[in-house]
Amino acid sequence: MMEKTILDRATVSQILPDEVWVVLEALGRDASHNAWTLGDLFCEIADESPYPKWMVDAACAAVTGLSNSRVRDIRVTAAFYPERACCHCGSLLDLSGYCRVCEQASIGVRDAFEVCSFSHFETAKRAGSFAEAVKWLKRVVESADDYGGLIMPVSKLQALMAGEIEATPVYEKRVRQIGSNASKLSADPDAPEVYRQVAMEVLALLKMRKVYEED
Show me where the domains of the chain are located: 9-80, 170-208
How do residues 64-120 score in pLDDT, each as one tens digit? 888 889 999 999 999 999 999 999 999 999 999 999 998 899 999 999 999 999 999
* Beta-sheet pairing, 104-105 with 98-99: antiparallel
Beta strands in the chain (DSSP E): 98-99, 104-105
What letter would DSSP give residue 99? E
How much is the pLDDT for 2? 39
pLDDT at position 22 is 78
User: What CA–CA distance (Å, rounded) separates 45 from 42?
Assistant: 5
Contacts of 118 (CB under 8 A, 6+ apart): 31, 32, 35, 36, 74, 77
Q: How many CB atoms lie within 10 A of CB 40?
A: 16
Identity of residue 68: N
Cα(61)–Cα(55) distance, integer angstroms: 10
Look at residue 163 in the predicted model and tell me its pLDDT: 80
CA distance 202 to 199: 5
pLDDT given at position 180: 87
Q: What is the pLDDT of residue 114?
A: 92
Cβ atoms of 42 and 60 within 8 Å: the answer is yes
* Total residue length of the chain: 215
* Weakly modelled stretches of the chain, pLDDT under 50: 1-3, 166
